[in-house]
Amino acid sequence: MKQTVFRWALILLIAAVFITALAAVLITHPGPKDTEFFTREVQETLWVLPALVIVAILAAYTMAWHVTDPIHRIDPEQPGETAPYEELVPLMARIREQDRLIRQQTETLGRARRGFDAITENMSESFLLVDRRLNVLSRNVSAKYLLPAPEPGKPDNLVGGSCPTEILHAAENALVGRRTELTMSLHDRYYYIIATPVFSEDQITGAVIIALDTTEREEREALRREFSANVSHELKTPLTSIVGFAELLKDGMVPPERAGEFGSDIYREAQRMISLVDDIIELSRLEDESEAPEMEPVDLYGLAEEALEQVRPAAEKLPVTLSLKGESAVIQGVRTALKEMVVNLCDNAVKYNRPGGSVTVTVEKNDAGETRLSVEDTGIGIPYEHQPRVFERFYRVDKSHSRALGGTGLGLSIVKHATRMHKARLELWSEPDTGTRITVRFPGQKA
Ligand code: ADP
């Protein structure tokens, strides 16, 4: 601006100087005939020209400075209410309006951005936004598990980096207008990927990729499938025996003197099925977290007495001596779940014992208010390699031995769930051929 004004002012001044000089010469010497004198006169006035040019330069510069300086001093971010001179009033008004619009739009954009960030950053799902060339435009924190951010200086693009092929494939599909859903596994986790095209005025401008971590659901599904398969298998075994015995009886293949024996076999197998169904019902009741269980004061010592009475017939058969140590200890708990827990522990302590062995149940409270219930036996013990797994559903060290003793493989699983329900801690100590001790530690409860 300054240069333009300066240039034009200079041109005008030079032109004015020439016109003035020429005019002066023509006025003083109107006759073109006296050309020699005309030439001399013109030459005499020529020395004025450089001086005039210098004056013109200075005048032009000063003028340009006066015109442009106030304009330079205008702060476009804070244009103010007044204009430096009248000609600038419309320009200032336009600058102020532009400034207001820009501020408004920046604020709207900022609000939208903050809202978008708040949503995507708090999402446990991974989120990626890519353009038509698969450049990553936006990603949330969770996306780092799927697609780590590129090293500084490297392009953030789905191609050529560490992007899993499934995600690349889904994004490419979305960019040609095909919404894509697929499952994939990465670093021992499962993801459900949804890729959707992003449209702008009927044109695909990019794609949104969302990945849901479905690991827990997949694991639950696998457990459920395994559980169903186990239940079917466990029920089928006694049922097959029952059908076999009944068929022999029906076809008259059993001599009358052995009919009683077959009857007891059928009874035993049916009992086993009932125990299994009872255990499954108990387990699903303990696992059902939809309703908070009703807590009541329960005396663990009294419960242990009842449990020992329940296993006494089996203990007398072996024989195994039963004893109860400690004192009355009342905790807030679910009576049925606690009873199942103690009965299952005592039942195992007798079942996996040896003739002449013993079972000791101890109930005591310590100074910190913690209540401890332990069931110790002098039985066969649990081999070390099996110890970490005995609390799993249907896990048995010796399947046929457990079955022969009427075990379902669910007893310790019920104990584990009941323990968890009471926020208690479970400890297992076992020495093969020496014995086993299982301790449940209930946390101190406020009165
Ligand atoms: P089960 O119905 O087979 O007894 P549990 O879940 O109660 O099922 O126990 C799982 C497995 O742990 C048993 O099959 C058995 O091998 C082992 N076990 C449990 N308690 C004892 C114990 N007190 N002594 C030795 N082994 C035990």
Please list the residues that pair with 357 across neighbouring strands: 320
384 and 314 in a common domain: yes
Q: Is 378 in the pocket of ligand 1 (CB under 6 A)?
A: no
Please tell me whether residue 251 adopts helix, strand or coil conformation. coil
Claim: this prediction has a pTM higher than 0.75: no
Alpha helices in 81-164 (DSSP H): 89-121
Q: Is 380 in the pocket of ligand 1 (CB under 6 A)?
A: yes
Return the residue whose CA atom lies nearest to atom 19 of ligand 1: 348
187 assigned to some structural domain = yes
324: left (phi over 0), alpha (psi -120 to 50) or beta: beta
Angle formed at CA 422 by CA 430 and CA 226, multiple of 5 degrees:
65
Return the residue whose CA atom lies nearest to atom 11 of ligand 1: 396
Give the pair of three-digit tokens for residue 109. 């954009």
Which of the listed residues 247, 266, 287 is the one where a domain comes to its end? 287
CATH of residue 241's domain is: 1.10.287.130
236 and 205 in a common domain: no
144 assigned to some structural domain = yes
Q: Can you give the pLDDT at residue 33? A: 52
| Closest among 70, 55, 56, 57 to 1, alpha carbons compared | 70
Range of the domain at 342: 296-442
Per-residue pLDDT of the chain (447 residues; tens, 9 = 90+): 556 666 776 777 777 777 777 766 666 665 555 555 556 666 666 666 677 777 777 877 888 787 788 777 777 777 667 777 777 788 888 888 888 899 999 999 999 888 888 887 787 788 999 999 999 998 888 888 888 888 888 888 888 778 889 999 999 999 999 999 999 998 889 999 999 999 998 899 999 999 999 999 999 898 889 888 888 988 998 899 999 999 999 998 889 898 899 999 999 999 989 989 999 998 888 888 777 888 999 999 999 999 999 999 999 998 999 999 999 999 999 999 999 999 999 999 999 999 999 999 999 998 888 999 999 999 999 999 999 999 999 999 998 888 888 888 999 999 999 999 999 999 999 999 999 999 999 998 655
CA 343 – CA 278 distance, rounded (Å) = 13
264 and 198 in a common domain: no
78 assigned to some structural domain = no
Which of the listed residues 251, 269, 287 is the one where a domain comes to its end? 287
Q: Can you give the pLDDT at residue 405? A: 84
CA 6 – CA 441 distance, rounded (Å) = 94
What is the distance in A from the centroid of ligand 1 to the CA of 56? 111
Whether 398 and 383 have beta carbons less than 8 Å apart is answered as no
41 assigned to some structural domain = yes
357 and 281 in a common domain: no
What is the distance in A from the centroid of ligand 1 to the CA of 396? 6
User: Exposed, middle or buried: residue 279 (CB in 10 Å: 0-12, 13-18, 19+)?
Assistant: buried
433 and 319 in a common domain: yes
Whether 38 and 25 have beta carbons less than 8 Å apart is answered as yes
Mutating to test ligand 1, I would choose from 277, 341, 348, 387 the residue with most ligand atoms within 8 A of its C-beta, which is 348
Mutating to test ligand 1, I would choose from 231, 377, 402 the residue with most ligand atoms within 8 A of its C-beta, which is 402
302 and 363 in a common domain: yes
Q: Is 276 in the pocket of ligand 1 (CB under 6 A)?
A: no
Domain count within the chain: 4
304 and 431 in a common domain: yes
Cα dihedral 345, 351, 353, 358 sign: positive
Amino acid at 211: A
Cα dihedral 88, 93, 96, 101 sign: negative
What is the CB-side half-sphere exposure of residue 229 using CA atoms within 13 A? 6
Give the atom of ligand 1 at the shortest distance from the alpha carbon of 396: 14
Q: Can you give the pLDDT at residue 46? A: 62
What is the distance in A from the centroid of ligand 1 to the CA of 244? 28
What secondary structure letter does DSSP report for 386?
Answer: G
281 and 191 in a common domain: no
Computed on alpha carbons and rounded to an integer, the radius of gyration of the chain in Å comes to 47
Amino acid at 318: L
CATH of residue 364's domain is: 3.30.565.10
Sheet holding 180-186, edge to edge: 136-139, 126-131, 203-213, 189-200, 180-186
Q: Can you give the pLDDT at residue 36? A: 54
Which of the listed residues 73, 108, 134 is the one where a domain comes to its end? 73
Please list the residues that pair with 431 across neighbouring strands: 435
38 and 59 in a common domain: yes
Q: Can you give the pLDDT at residue 49? A: 66
114 assigned to some structural domain = no
Alpha helices in 251-388 (DSSP H): 259-287, 300-317, 335-351
- Overall size of the chain counted in residues: 447
What is the distance in A from the centroid of ligand 1 to the CA of 348? 6
| Closest among 367, 362, 335, 332 to 349, alpha carbons compared | 362
237 and 207 in a common domain: no
391 and 372 in a common domain: yes
What is the distance in A from the centroid of ligand 1 to the CA of 314? 16
| Closest among 344, 320, 354, 351 to 419, alpha carbons compared | 344
222 assigned to some structural domain = no
User: Exposed, middle or buried: residue 25 (CB in 10 Å: 0-12, 13-18, 19+)?
Assistant: middle
Q: What is the dihedral of CA 402, 405, 409, 413, to 10 degrees?
A: -120
Mutating to test ligand 1, I would choose from 273, 352, 358, 377 the residue with most ligand atoms within 8 A of its C-beta, which is 352
Helix orientation angle between 300-317 and 335-351, rounded to the nearest 10 degrees: 30
CATH of residue 131's domain is: 3.30.450.20
| Closest among 296, 389, 375, 379 to 343, alpha carbons compared | 375
CA 349 – CA 373 distance, rounded (Å) = 14
423 and 371 in a common domain: yes
213: left (phi over 0), alpha (psi -120 to 50) or beta: beta
91 assigned to some structural domain = no
Q: How far is CA 156 from the centre of its chain?
A: 22
206 assigned to some structural domain = yes
CA distances from 376 to 151, 230, 314, 429 (A): 59, 29, 17, 9
